[in-house]
Structure 1
Amino acid sequence: MLQSQAKWLIPEWSEDQVKELAELTGLSHIAARFFVRRGITAKEDVMSFLHMDHRSLHDPFLLKGMEKTVERIIRAIADKEKILIFGDYDADGVTSTSMMYLTLKELDAVVSYYIPNRFTEGYGPNESAFRQAKDEGVALIITVDTGISGVHEALVAKELGVDLIITDHHEPPPALPDAFSVINPKQPGCSYPNPNLAGAGVAFKVIHALTGDVPDHLLDLVAIGTIADLVPLTGENRFLAKAGIEAIRHDCRPGVKALLNKAGADISELNEETIGFLIGPRLNAAGRLDSADPAAALLITADFSEAEELALFVDDLNRERQAIVKEISEEAIAQVEEQDIPPVLIVGKSGWNPGVIGIVASRLVETYYRPVIVLSFDEEKGVAKGSARSIEGFDMFKSLSTCRDILPHFGGHPMAAGLTMNLQDVDDLRGRLSELALETMSEDDWIRKLHVDLPVAIHEVTLEAIEDLQSMAPYGIGNPAPKVMLDEVQISAMRQIGATGDHLKFTLRDDASDRELDAIAFRKGELANAISMMSRLSVVGKLSINEWNGNRKPQFMVEDLRVSDWQLFDYRGNKKLFRQQHLLKRDKVTAVSFSHSFKSLTQELPEAWSRIELKGSLPDEEQVSQLKEAQEVVFIDLPINLNQVEAVLDKMEVLEKLYPVFLHEDSGRINTVPRREQFTELYKLFVHQGKIDMKRHAQTISKRKGWSMDHIRFMCKVFSELEFVTIENGIVHAVSKPDKRVLTDSALYQESLAKQGVEENLYYSSSTELKRWIDDVRNNRVAQLEDSSARQ
């Protein structure tokens, strides 16, 4: 048995509906299952989903405040007023800034941009920057991807006589800033159909309204901002992301091309994962470690040489960011491990880079599945800056809103937030949020969930089916990549891969079709010793196509796995098990010794292991209690008989892994017990001859009958025990008229028969036969218990 990391939620649906949709659309059954799973069952809706166009875009003037906004910008352009674009330092903010700047430049506006420094100015608009803008003659400030929480800054702008247009997508506070106009699809009174635009999406809509045309030349930038900011990729957002990906593939601007070259990405194969894992983090790195200006300049420049220099600088910052994240993550985990894990994790330290603590928070959520806040302490100022990440069932923004009295600055949404607070209030926040989590979250909310979309069989996994699924991209929040499950499949091969064996590679086989499928489980290399090749493995993950040297093969990318049944790890006759480091310190391991034979070895077992020494007998009451709780069991030596091992197996109620070593004293295989016919023949010979000198004639009998000398000696001993013969100095005398007995009356015969049964069933059987025998023993016990319960 091997537990999955998450609770798998497997849907139910009508396979008839799947078949009908596949016939209507020409899609594979796997693709049709995907649509039925998402509630898309009409042919027209499927086609609309697959073939989106500009009709997916909403009228930008449906955004509240748009007319007033456009009029003011047009007037500023016409009057040559100085316009300042005030952006944010993440990938969404940088793309929003770049799009607005490029557009206003094209419209011949007097425009500049300003992105605050995360470390010296913090998040969002600030009074100092606004006053500086006024001093430089700025008449209009346009925020992009920020500003909705800038209530004070809006008052400052009004006092300075500077018009402020806020374009943002974050959750609005109870009282909106008193700005000239506010564009935010989430603001009260806004009926825009898509409230989930990214900051880049809001900027794109303003540009659309301002120019009167869809700005197709900016689709690449709006796609990067939309995907990097993790907004739902549904409806309009999905079109922006999909169209932007196509734009990058076919006509890549210098900055994006240079960045992709540095990342080693193939532009022709670019998808949402390329943006999410390669472009987004590099653009974010600039603002996380220093100023975001180089990232904005990279996207704005039309000069490829300049773009290459900027891309190199940004890429170096990203490498530095990765090293910092690794160091802080290790320190944060150490802090968590020092305490009992609370409902909400809040960790912090002086010197932690505030630009990367959001990434660290995400890693802690992945590790502990708890809402997390990571804080960077400034002890001189008595202030902590933090990033929060949450789990399903705990609305982080709503929860932080209940603590406004100790949170002078915070903003975000249900799954993530940023905050600034006084150091003295950290413990108070920790207590309040943990208490709130216990009050509002159900028991089920604390369990990590994995939503399975498509249970499939290996024979269904074809290149065509995977290509159908790829046509449903881009995937993301709201349109997650389908999680595929293969249930109870055989393992044909398994090995660790990577320089340090960090990953696992499998070959999985389908019983019905005998088809095989390659699978890779990244960062699960340590499970190599926890999965038996004999086990039936269930996996959940994503389907992909592996291309190598012109060959294309289906491939399964494993996200989670489990083995539902107990597992057998066959170490019979091999002491190597006792040198396996992955087992030596495991306190779950129980070692069972059936006899005295290997007492010295038993005494040398790892101290962490529990021990059960039966010494040739059945388990006593205390040992039965141990066996009932034993999860991982090592059988050190062979039992005296099958009854002894059956009694042990009968008591193991929660067995997960069994390691039979079954050491025995004999170097080779014990001879089998002679057949009944052999006993009959030899006895008749003794009766006929009356007496036989076996020292002289045993070899002759062995050659004539084809019997081994061991068998002959054994049969003589059994006859002697049963008093059928007497033996003196090697001469066997047949007893006249012996008492009537059967072979099983002989203790020697019974002991040998039992030993033969032990060896045949437990030592010389194949691994498959051994597991089947143990299953039969354990299943018989369950059946007996059920029968007994039914009779009661």
Structure 2
Amino acid sequence: MTFRLKQLQQRTVQSSAAFALPVHPVLQRVYAHRGIGLPEELQRSAANLLPFTALKGINDAVALLTQALDQQQQIVIVGDFDADGATSTAVLLAGLKAFGFKHLEYLVPNRFAFGYGLSPQMAELAVAQGAELIITVDNGISAIEGVALAKKAGVKVLVTDHHLAGNELPAADAIVNPNQPGCEFPSKALAGVGVAFYLLLALRSALRERGDFATIAEPNLAELLDLVALGTVADVVPLDSNNRILVHQGLQRIRAGKVRPGIQALIDVANRKAEKLTASDFGFSLAPRLNAAGRLDDMSIGISCLLAPDINVARRLAAELDSLNVERREIEQGMQAEALAFLQKLSFTQDQLPDCLCLYQADWHQGVIGILAGRVKELYHRPVIAFAQGDEGELKGSARSIHGVHIRDLLEEISSQYPGLIKKFGGHAMAAGLTIAEDRLETFQLALNFIAKKYLTPELLTAVIYTDGELASSDLTVAMAGILQQAGPWGQSFPEPVFEGRFKLVQQRMLADKHLKMMLQASDGTLVDAIWFNADNKTWPNANVQQVQLAYQLDINDFRDQQNLQLLVRQMTAL
């Protein structure tokens, strides 16, 4: 099957006011494309964080915590099995311990045995551990039955979450979630770890007001920002101005050497340098190793790594996570090969592809189907749902969507139009999880593509690489790459700058049979190195090609203490 290359399309100006900002003209253009117009939107000081007071339920939550502290109640934190859930759990454990809480335990559901969040089974475990207060992190907004079971047992429940609420809210004693109905907190993009951090900010303020810190040292919550930054990027939430502050502050602490042993060990095992860490390193190097524990084993390994008391313990746990990540990659590559072979057998042309792709194989690993769905989505530019075998005749699905198609809303409409077809679901605009009966897979596929027609247009189904236009040859420098790198953090909804341009292809060779290393020449004769990771080795290198059109990012290649400019190629076409 042959697919069209992604179209290159220059971004449009969202804020002309950006051209008055006191920054380099290239950066003015980049900011204008991202809607930045006011100097305060570029402020990355912690003092510019949004106040916690706008969070609905925050006062009730603090009241629960102060009572729990005064009575030294048994607290059980119920987390989630992904990187956001792990960092959320670690933030709350470390933060509450610093405030003087003495009876703290945590539970993270094994995805294969208990499923997601505060399920009734997890609530039973927490009650059995003697919980007097259950606190959920990165889950709970849909835990109707789990909360009810805990309340019936006389246990108080504090829900902290960031996922979208359903039609019914759990009967918790307090709910803190910027996406719950009636919450006026300006940023709806907080990750679960961000909500947990804000809860600690509110608690510190309350304890400060009542004079607790006259007798004990006031905790420095900034020490938790390395965890907050990692979890925020890992969960791929939009990096609005508030999240950019959280991520920037966390990165600054790490680069300055103020990093906890667990994150330092993850940096080491990923062969990164703490002093040069970027937000993309969180997403592509650290988070996958942390997530591997929840995908294949038990996220407790990841949480233990994050909370490791010293670097030696942390390195041992990071090595375990690294091994799990290698195993995860091997499983994923096998599943991806099977999925692509299946799709190729169907011999779809580009115009015949279903609007949504639904994949299932009985022996696929339940912990890896989300990654598989994401990989296939990138190749086919369609929403993808991959299913694996669950328990007792059920299939567990993981969905990944394209921009413009809110996958959770799509699933909600299917559930409304076809009652009982989906047993349960939840998630975000770009990712969701669901459970269906195994014998209803074909019905679900038909319903999915029928409902999807309301959401999808030919424009949405056209894969596009958005660029920030062309760069002058004089801007192809290490200095410019440094300016752009420092202007971040870049991430979801605040994408790293991508440029386009024509170059002469001077040299080309394949590295490791999959990466195309090149020497390019700009129009004024400037020579620049470039690399295209995972290039098509059936097409390249091609000695007959002399001129190419690129979409690329500026990068600094550090080698033997020498810094050189390198273009990271996103797409290349022969001219």
Taking structure 2 as the reference length, what is the TM-score of the superposition? Answer: 0.91
The residue aligned with 1:539 is 550
The residue aligned with 1:227 is 233
The residue aligned with 1:626 is none
The residue aligned with 1:509 is 521
The residue aligned with 1:389 is 400
SS at match of 1:187: coil
More moved, 94-103 vs 205-214: 205-214
Matches within 5 A, 1:453-602: 453-486=468-501, 488-493=502-507, 495-500=508-513, 502-511=514-523, 513-526=524-537, 528-529=539-540, 531=542, 533=544, 535-563=546-574, 565=575
Structure 1 residue 163: Cα displacement: 0.9
Matches within 5 A, 1:399-418: 399-404=410-415, 405=419, 406-418=421-433
The residue aligned with 2:184 is 191
C-alpha distance in 2 between matches for 1:103 and 1:460: 45
Per-residue Cα deviation, 1:67-98 (whole angstroms, up to 9, x for no partner): 01101111011112111000001110000001
Structure 1 residue 7: Cα displacement: 1.4
1:377 maps to which of 370, 374, 389: 389
C-alpha distance in 2 between matches for 1:551 and 1:259: 25
C-alpha distance in 2 between matches for 1:12 and 1:131: 53
C-alpha distance in 1 between matches for 2:192 and 2:33: 30
Structure 1 position 5 matched with structure 2 position 19? no
More moved, 163-172 vs 330-339: 330-339
| CA shift in 2, pair 1:68/1:362, >3 Å | same
SS at match of 1:5: coil
Q: Structure 1 vs Structure 2: percent identity of aligned residues? A: 34
SS at match of 2:436: strand
The residue aligned with 1:263 is 270
| CA shift in 2, pair 1:399/1:28, >3 Å | same
Question: Are 2:414 and 2:451, in contact at CA under 8 Å, matched by a contact in 1?
Answer: no
Question: Are 1:384 and 1:423, in contact at CA under 8 Å, matched by a contact in 2?
Answer: yes
The residue aligned with 2:444 is 429
C-alpha distance in 2 between matches for 1:283 and 1:12: 37
C-alpha distance in 2 between matches for 1:458 and 1:17: 26
Structure 1 position 178 matched with structure 2 position 191? no
SS at match of 2:470: strand
C-alpha distance in 2 between matches for 1:75 and 1:454: 57
Question: Are 2:138 and 2:162, in contact at CA under 8 Å, matched by a contact in 1?
Answer: yes
| CA shift in 2, pair 1:11/1:118, >3 Å | closer
More moved, 54-63 vs 230-239: 54-63
SS at match of 2:483: helix
C-alpha distance in 2 between matches for 1:459 and 1:248: 33
The residue aligned with 2:31 is 35
Structure 1 residue 204: Cα displacement: 0.4
The residue aligned with 2:221 is 215
Structure 1 residue 266: Cα displacement: 1.2
- Paired letter, 1:496: R
Q: How many equivalent residue pairs?
A: 549
- Paired letter, 2:264: K
The residue aligned with 1:73 is 65
| CA shift in 2, pair 1:130/1:13, >3 Å | closer
| CA shift in 2, pair 1:167/1:214, >3 Å | farther
C-alpha distance in 2 between matches for 1:503 and 1:262: 22
Structure 1 residue 304: Cα displacement: 2.4
2:305 maps to which of 298, 302, 326: 298
Matches within 5 A, 1:647-726: none
Question: Are 1:496 and 1:528, in contact at CA under 8 Å, matched by a contact in 2?
Answer: no
SS at match of 2:5: coil
Structure 1 residue 412: Cα displacement: 0.5
Question: Are 1:458 and 1:517, in contact at CA under 8 Å, matched by a contact in 2?
Answer: no
C-alpha distance in 2 between matches for 1:549 and 1:136: 54
C-alpha distance in 2 between matches for 1:287 and 1:33: 41
2:49 maps to which of 57, 68, 83: 57
| CA shift in 2, pair 1:490/1:300, >3 Å | same
- Paired letter, 1:468: I
Structure 1 residue 240: Cα displacement: 0.4
Could you list the runs of 5+ residues in structure 1 that have no partner in the other structure? Answer: 566-792
Per-residue Cα deviation, 1:49-79 (whole angstroms, up to 9, x for no partner): 5542123211112110000110111101111
Question: Are 2:43 and 2:245, in contact at CA under 8 Å, matched by a contact in 1?
Answer: no
- Paired letter, 2:571: D
1:314 maps to which of 321, 326, 330: 321
The residue aligned with 2:114 is 121
SS at match of 1:188: coil
Structure 1 position 149 matched with structure 2 position 149? no
- Paired letter, 1:236: N
C-alpha distance in 1 between matches for 2:90 and 2:193: 9
Structure 1 residue 152: Cα displacement: 1.3
C-alpha distance in 1 between matches for 2:331 and 2:545: 42
| CA shift in 2, pair 1:6/1:303, >3 Å | same
C-alpha distance in 2 between matches for 1:304 and 1:554: 34
Per-residue Cα deviation, 1:354-387 (whole angstroms, up to 9, x for no partner): 1111001000001111110111124x61100110
C-alpha distance in 2 between matches for 1:525 and 1:457: 28
Structure 1 residue 129: Cα displacement: 2.3
- Paired letter, 2:522: D
2:460 maps to which of 445, 464, 467: 445
The residue aligned with 1:347 is 359
The residue aligned with 2:100 is 108
C-alpha distance in 1 between matches for 2:319 and 2:11: 46
Structure 1 position 283 matched with structure 2 position 295? no
C-alpha distance in 1 between matches for 2:187 and 2:108: 27
1:247 maps to which of 244, 253, 260: 253
- Paired letter, 1:75: Q
Structure 1 residue 133: Cα displacement: 2.2
Taking structure 1 as the reference length, what is the TM-score of the superposition? Answer: 0.67
The residue aligned with 2:211 is none
SS at match of 2:360: strand
C-alpha distance in 1 between matches for 2:4 and 2:30: 23
C-alpha distance in 2 between matches for 1:546 and 1:257: 22
Select the structure of larger CA radius of gyration.
1
SS at match of 1:492: strand
Question: Are 2:75 and 2:133, in contact at CA under 8 Å, matched by a contact in 1?
Answer: yes
Structure 1 residue 17: Cα displacement: 8.7
More moved, 337-346 vs 120-129: 337-346
C-alpha distance in 2 between matches for 1:60 and 1:104: 17
Per-residue Cα deviation, 1:188-222 (whole angstroms, up to 9, x for no partner): 10000111100000000001111127710100000
Structure 1 residue 322: Cα displacement: 1.0
Structure 1 residue 506: Cα displacement: 2.2
C-alpha distance in 2 between matches for 1:4 and 1:242: 37
- Paired letter, 1:275: F
C-alpha distance in 2 between matches for 1:285 and 1:451: 31
Structure 1 residue 525: Cα displacement: 4.4
C-alpha distance in 2 between matches for 1:335 and 1:313: 33
Structure 1 residue 453: Cα displacement: 1.2
Question: Are 1:131 and 1:160, in contact at CA under 8 Å, matched by a contact in 2?
Answer: no
C-alpha distance in 2 between matches for 1:105 and 1:185: 25
1:420 maps to which of 435, 455, 458: 435
Question: Are 1:496 and 1:525, in contact at CA under 8 Å, matched by a contact in 2?
Answer: no
Matches within 5 A, 1:733-752: none
C-alpha distance in 2 between matches for 1:459 and 1:274: 28
Structure 1 residue 308: Cα displacement: 1.9
The residue aligned with 1:325 is 332
Higher relative contact order (CA 8 A, sep 6+): 2
The residue aligned with 1:334 is 341
Structure 1 residue 532: Cα displacement: 5.5
| CA shift in 2, pair 1:510/1:132, >3 Å | closer
